């Protein structure tokens, strides 16, 4: 994404109250078909391009792992797997249990993506900035551009300012 691009308020995450808990939610319409988006969020190659490489055992009750290099290996649980529609997984980290849900719905030649971050702390501005940045990179990847393999950039810093209430 062009670091001088204007941030679209529709792309911003917001905390909602759902089923008795707070959830950080992002809703995006991605210019790619359902299969391309599903592959981008469930394959080692896809997740490695826009976030971090995740290896899923494709079933509820399966495992998810990621080689995080110097940070070790992340291992978690696939909580839900409904091909082309729903992926839910969680893993434990020093800051708490990470838990995300990705829901997809075909909209013609586009795909509606709902991304929910249930934990840790859905109110934390760094988590909102991080997921926003990763989802922008997902859109970039689906548009055919390989995102730079960097831990952060000027766009991420802009998002941190936005979500922490500073100037964007």
Domains of the chain: 10-163 (3.30.530.20)
In terms of C-beta density within 10 A (0-12 exposed, 13-18 middle, 19 or more buried), how is residue 47 classed? buried
pTM reported for the whole predicted model: 0.92
Each of the 168 residues of the chain gets a pLDDT tens digit; together they read 344 345 788 899 999 999 999 999 999 999 999 999 999 999 999 999 999 999 999 999 999 999 877 878 899 999 999 999 999 999 998 889 999 999 999 999 999 999 999 999 999 999 999 999 999 999 999 999 999 988 889 999 999 999 998 754
């Amino acid at each position: 994404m062009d670091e001088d691009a204007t941030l679209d308020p529709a792309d911003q995450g917001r905390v909602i109250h759902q089923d008795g808990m707070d959830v950080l939610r992002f809703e995006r319409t991605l210019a790619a078909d359902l299969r391309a988006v599903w592959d981008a969020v469930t394959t080692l190659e896809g997740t490695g391009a826009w976030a971090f490489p995740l290896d899923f055992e494709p079933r509820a009750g399966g495992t998810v792992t990621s080689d995080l290099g110097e940070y070790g290996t992340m291992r978690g649980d696939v909580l839900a797997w409904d091909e082309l529609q729903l992926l839910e997984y969680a893993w434990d980290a020093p800051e708490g249990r990470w838990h995300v849900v990705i829901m997809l719905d075909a909209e013609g030649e586009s795909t509606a993506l709902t991304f929910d971050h249930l934990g840790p702390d859905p109110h934390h501005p760094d988590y909102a900035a991080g997921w926003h940045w990763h989802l922008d990179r997902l859109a970039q990847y689906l548009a055919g551009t390989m995102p730079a393999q960097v831990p952060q950039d000027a766009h991420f810093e802009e998002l941190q300012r936005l979500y922490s209430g500073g100037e964007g």
